[in-house]
Chain A
Amino acid sequence: MHTVLKSATKTVTIGHDQPFCIIGERINPTGRKKFQAQLRANDLSQLAIDIEQQVNGGADVLDVNMGVPLTDEPALLGRAIKEIQSLTDLPICIDSSIIEALQVGLETYQGKALVNSVTGEEERMELILPLIKQHGAVIIALPNDATGIPATAAERMVITEKIVRTVEKYGIPLEDLVIDPLAMTVGADPEAVKITLETIYLIREKWGLNMTLGASNVSFGLPYRHAVNAAFLPAAMSHGLTSAVMDARTANIVEAVRATDLLLGLDPWGGNWISRFRALEAAKAAAESGA
């Protein structure tokens, strides 16, 4: 199954036979005081810096979240999307749980956007899925509901089943549905990642759907988080994960992903792997001769 995302000029395909799709997560003011203050003052200059870092790091898609407390998030998100599309041709993942923000975001966006996200709750799906259908966008859906995050893969499968049926009912093709199998923190529950991996495997077996998740979550509260993240993604990929929302600035995580592409036959003859090596060597040589 191929999930296609588009900007005005660029297409990115997510699939089990495609290289892993890295969704850069940095364009998000949560926990960034200075960035929040800038956004409140209508100053969007930080966007160019964040975009450049994610693109240089190897992001294929950019997650955009404009959740600044006590602001008009829909208006801010609309302006940010316009600005970002003037700076990069990468497709965007519009990230908000405010329906009006998603609406403005989808109206502003040029192309076929990814939307992050909807839960398996009826009333959330009723609000968001018509918007997805109307704009021909792609939706990320989380198999949790009003009772919280299911502790077992079997329960997550039940909610995923409900999501799949609802998405079909709205006439949205299944390739425009991406499931987030829920990556929880291993430091808070030793079984958390095993359950996520099992969920990924079962969803792939049953529906062949594309999947994405917030990869940094697993290592919360631990030392050497980058190494934990870099070990998690190859395991998740080999179970059937096709994309992740992650910080593309961390080179060893991106490297782990691209090496796994090669090992799983998603980068035949190492074309991408070797090009990446050459680009890095060239950058190194340029830096040395410049110094």
Chain B
Amino acid sequence: MTHDEIIKGLYDETLLGNAPRVLALTQEALASGMGPDTILFEALIPSLEEVGSRFERGDYFVPEMLIAGKAMAGALNVLRPLLADTGAETVGTFVMGTVKGDVHDIGKNLVNIMLEGAGFNVIDLGVQVAPEKFVAAIAEHKPDILGMSAFLTTTMPMFKVNIHEITKAGLREGLIIMVGGAPVTQEYADAVGADGYAADASTAVRLAKELIKKQRASV
């Protein structure tokens, strides 16, 4: 296979969510001497961007997006250590979690996929994330952005609790905090002191990039 054929194959198979094929092509690409950054930026990321816009248009459904994300994640497991060696700068680091008391994860996972697809390094803390776990993860990974998800009106107040704990731990400064989830609104995000809110996954990615740009410009 030529490099162009491999790139096209990776793009197409990611679009279809064919994880075994994407993994095999990633290995073939590396064996043929292609750089990990080429694989990521010329095949995987454009493919996930296409998945995202199809989803946004209503042409793609949740399962299609999830398997595309899984296919990309499989390739990333191989590429990540190699990318670290090349010293390529990531778009940003994003720590993500669903708040304590809440077990909903589909929306959060869709946002994670879109973020990874846009080149973010995403650290997913899962569901039912207690305030102290958010604080510990921020201290450990020093992310650009913390994302919190809540699906219930009764768990949304955890945003405020978590932000309070993060501030108390002295980690609020320089950290961008984004919130989202079905019942969340811009008004609510403002009320709890978050820096950003987005109603859907692709808006979240756009906003995340914007907020990081603003942040980096200000320092």
Interface residues of A (CB under 8 A from B): 30-31, 67-70, 73, 96-98, 144, 146-149, 185, 187-188, 220-223
Question: How far, in angstroms, from A147 to B128 measured CA to CA in the complex?
Answer: 7
24 CB < 8 A contacts A-B: A30-B182, A30-B183, A31-B182, A67-B153, A67-B154, A67-B183, A69-B183, A70-B188, A73-B153, A97-B101, A97-B154, A148-B103, A148-B127, A185-B106, A187-B61, A187-B62, A188-B62, A188-B63, A188-B66, A188-B105, A221-B61, A221-B106, A222-B61, A223-B61
Starting from the known contacts A30-B183, A187-B66, 20 additional A-B residue pairs (CB-CB under 8 Å) come to: A31-B182, A67-B152, A69-B153, A69-B156, A69-B183, A69-B185, A70-B187, A70-B188, A70-B191, A96-B154, A98-B154, A148-B128, A149-B103, A185-B62, A188-B62, A188-B63, A188-B106, A188-B109, A221-B61, A222-B63
Question: How far, in angstroms, from A147 to B182 measured CA to CA in the complex?
Answer: 22
Question: How far, in angstroms, from A149 to B66 measured CA to CA in the complex?
Answer: 19
Q: How far is the CB of A182 from chain B (nearest CB, A)?
A: 9
Q: Name the residue on A nearest B101 (C-beta).
A: A97
Chain B residues with CB below 8 A from A67, complex form: 152-154, 183
State which residues 61-89 of B face A: CB under 8 Å. Answer: 61-63, 66
Annotate B125-141 by CB proximity to A: 1 below 8 A, 0 otherwise.
01110000000000000
Q: How far is the CB of A122 from chain B (nearest CB, A)?
A: 14
B: contact size bracket: 20 to 34
Question: How far, in angstroms, from A89 to B189 measured CA to CA in the complex?
Answer: 39
Q: How far is the CB of B127 from chain A (nearest CB, A)?
A: 5
Question: How far, in angstroms, from A68 to B154 measured CA to CA in the complex?
Answer: 9
Annotate B177-212 by CB proximity to A: 1 below 8 A, 0 otherwise.
000001101011001000000000000000000000
| Contact (Cβ within 8 A) A97 B152 | yes
Judged by DSSP, the binding face of A is loop
| Contact (Cβ within 8 A) A146 B183 | no
Interface residues of B (CB under 8 A from A): 61-63, 66, 101, 103, 105-106, 109, 126-128, 152-154, 156, 182-183, 185, 187-188, 191
Question: How far, in angstroms, from A149 to B127 measured CA to CA in the complex?
Answer: 10
Q: How far is the CB of A35 from chain B (nearest CB, A)?
A: 12
Chain B residues with CB below 8 A from A68, complex form: 153
Question: How far, in angstroms, from A68 to B103 measured CA to CA in the complex?
Answer: 20
Q: How far is the CB of A247 from chain B (nearest CB, A)?
A: 16
Q: Name the residue on A nearest B66 (C-beta).
A: A188
Chain A residues with CB below 8 A from B62, complex form: 185, 187-188, 220-222
Chain B residues with CB below 8 A from A144, complex form: 103
Q: Name the residue on B nearest A188 (C-beta).
A: B106
Q: How far is the CB of A217 from chain B (nearest CB, A)?
A: 10
Known: A31-B182, A67-B154, A70-B191. A187 touches B63 (CB 8 A): yes
Chain B residues with CB below 8 A from A223, complex form: 61
